[in-house]
């Protein structure tokens, strides 16, 4: 049997086909632009591509592992954490499982007891339900001193204070921000204040390392270029942040107070910060205030910054230290009991503000 060649399509038919092909190409372009990442990951997983080697090579399946998911983590960040802990083979396959179940908005932070090399869909289901491990929550308040932080951790965890002290001083805890030193003050300001969850199995070293690593991450996330251009180090920026944290209650005033500190430092003026004197005296009782107390932390006697931070600064104070407001202020004083300050450029203006604060009963 023979076949006759098919006739050429009519011009109108050919045109319609060409237009159809063009439309498909254009539509494909939109798909590639809008969904290239997702489709690429799907294809990569299907052929065993890039995402298959995220898991550590020595992970055995079925081993229990405790995983901490920080608050605010995206599905992509959670996938990376799970892959790094060997819970899933790759972050990409976890992301696909999240997409397939439309669960991105339902993933919950917390501490989870999971197993290595889980089915990604099971991992997603656990994260949607929420943490069920035997955990407890610890809140470290901004502005606490190192001994106060250790006391708070000991009280909440039930772990002896001395265990926390030993973990810091023995070298068990590491931080790129640590400048050396064998006393607790060398760790001042290096533990980030936040709310954390820990399992009952977590040791003092585990807890402190988490706080120290979080501070490293927060500091690294801030642009210190402007501060460094003035000749300050990032660690000195951390000291400035601790001064702001100790002096200021209201977030909106932190950049302004930071500007006062920067302005005084640039002019070679003493900082004259009450909080540094109280830190030197190892008290918080203003009745014990003594500006003549001999200490490298007494900024009424010593020019420049104190040798270490004087408290644990939060994110707002870190940002204020790195990016102060642009002002000419050189002085500030508490102006009401809500925490507001009155700022001044000249000593005459400042003295008037002080007098007003005393008249209003804000200052003794």
CA distance 201 to 313: 28
Give this prediction's pTM: 0.68
Closest CA to 119 of 138, 137, 143, 93: 93
Please report the DSSP string for 189-233 in residue order: T-S--SEEEEETT--HHHHHHHHHHHHHHHHHTS--HHHHHTT--
pLDDT at residue number 57: 53
Closest CA to 261 of 315, 320, 330: 330
How many beta carbons lie within 10 A of that of residue 33, not counting itself?
8
CB 343 within 8 A of CB 352: no
Q: What share of the chain is helix, strand, coil (3-state, %, to 5)?
A: 50, 10, 40
What is the residue-averaged pLDDT of the chain?
86
Is pLDDT above 50 for 10? Answer: no
Burial class (CB in 10 A: 0-12, 13-18, 19+), 136: middle
CB 116 within 8 A of CB 62: yes
Q: Per-residue confidence at 197, pLDDT binned at 50, 70, 90?
A: confident
Domain annotation for the chain: domains and CATH numbers: 57-129 (3.30.1490.480), 139-220 (no CATH), 225-329 (no CATH)
Average the pLDDT over 33-48 and give the result: 36
Distances (CA, A) of 145 to 6, 78, 150, 246, 261: 88, 32, 9, 10, 21
Q: Per-residue confidence at 276, pLDDT binned at 50, 70, 90?
A: very high
Distances (CA, A) of 299 to 218, 240, 279, 286: 27, 12, 11, 16
What does the pLDDT look like over 237-250, one tens digit per residue? 999 999 999 999 99
CA distance 114 to 65: 5
The owner of tokens 């083979």 is 89
What does the pLDDT look like over 201-214, one tens digit per residue? 899 999 999 999 99
Which is higher by pLDDT, 17 or 349?
349
CA distance 191 to 313: 9
Is pLDDT above 60 for 327? Answer: yes
Which is higher by pLDDT, 1 or 344?
344
How many beta carbons lie within 10 A of that of residue 308, not counting itself?
22
Secondary structure E strands in the chain: 64-69, 110-115, 135-139, 195-199, 331-334, 341-344
CB burial of 248-262 (b: ≥16 within 10 Å; e: otherwise) equals beeeebbbbbbbbbb
Is pLDDT above 80 for 36? Answer: no
Question: Dihedral sign, CA of 320, 324, 327, 331?
Answer: positive
DSSP secondary structure code for residue 176 in this structure: T
- What does the block give as tokens for 233? 């180090």
CA distance 139 to 106: 24
Distances (CA, A) of 23 to 13, 17, 35: 15, 10, 18
CA distance 108 to 69: 8
Is pLDDT above 80 for 232? Answer: yes
């Amino acid at each position: 049997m023979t076949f006759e060649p098919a006739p050429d399509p009519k011009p109108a038919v050919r045109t319609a086909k060409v237009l159809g092909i063009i439309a498909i190409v254009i539509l494909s372009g939109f798909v590639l632009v809008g969904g290239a990442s997702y489709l690429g990951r799907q294809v990569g997983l299907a052929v065993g591509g890039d995402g298959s080697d995220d898991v550590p090579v020595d992970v055995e399946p079925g081993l229990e592992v405790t995983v901490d998911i920080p608050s605010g983590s995206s599905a992509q960040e959670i996938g990376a954490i799970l892959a790094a802990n060997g819970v899933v083979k790759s972050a990409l396959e976890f992301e696909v499982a999240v997409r397939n179940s439309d669960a991105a908005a339902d993933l919950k932070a917390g501490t989870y007891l999971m197993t290595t090399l889980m089915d990604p869909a099971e991992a997603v289901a656990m994260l949607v339900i929420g943490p069920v491990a035997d955990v407890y929550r610890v809140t470290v308040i901004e502005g606490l001193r190192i001994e106060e932080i250790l006391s708070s951790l000991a009280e909440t965890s039930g772990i002896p204070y001395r265990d926390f002290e030993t973990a810091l001083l023995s070298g068990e805890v590491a931080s790129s921000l640590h400048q050396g030193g064998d006393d607790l003050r060398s760790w001042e300001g290096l533990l980030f204040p936040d709310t954390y969850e820990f399992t009952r199995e977590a040791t003092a070293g585990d807890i402190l390392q988490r706080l120290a690593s979080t501070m490293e991450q927060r500091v690294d996330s801030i642009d210190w270029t402007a501060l460094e251009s003035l000749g300050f180090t990032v660690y000195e920026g951390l000291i400035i942040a601790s001064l702001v944290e100790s002096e200021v209650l209201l977030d909106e005033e932190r950049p302004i107070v930071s500007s006062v500190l920067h302005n005084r430092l640039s002019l070679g003026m003493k900082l004259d910060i009450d909080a540094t004197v109280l830190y030197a005296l190892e008290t918080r009782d203003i009745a014990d205030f003594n500006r003549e107390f001999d200490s490298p932390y007494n900024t009424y006697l010593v020019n420049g910054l104190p040798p270490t931070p004087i408290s644990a600064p939060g994110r707002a104070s870190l940002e204020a230290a790195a990016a102060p407001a642009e002002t000419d202020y050189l002085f500030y004083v508490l102006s009401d009991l809500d925490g507001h300050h009155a700022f001044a450029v000249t000593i005459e203006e400042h003295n008037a503000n002080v007098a007003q604060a005393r008249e209003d009963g804000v200052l003794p």
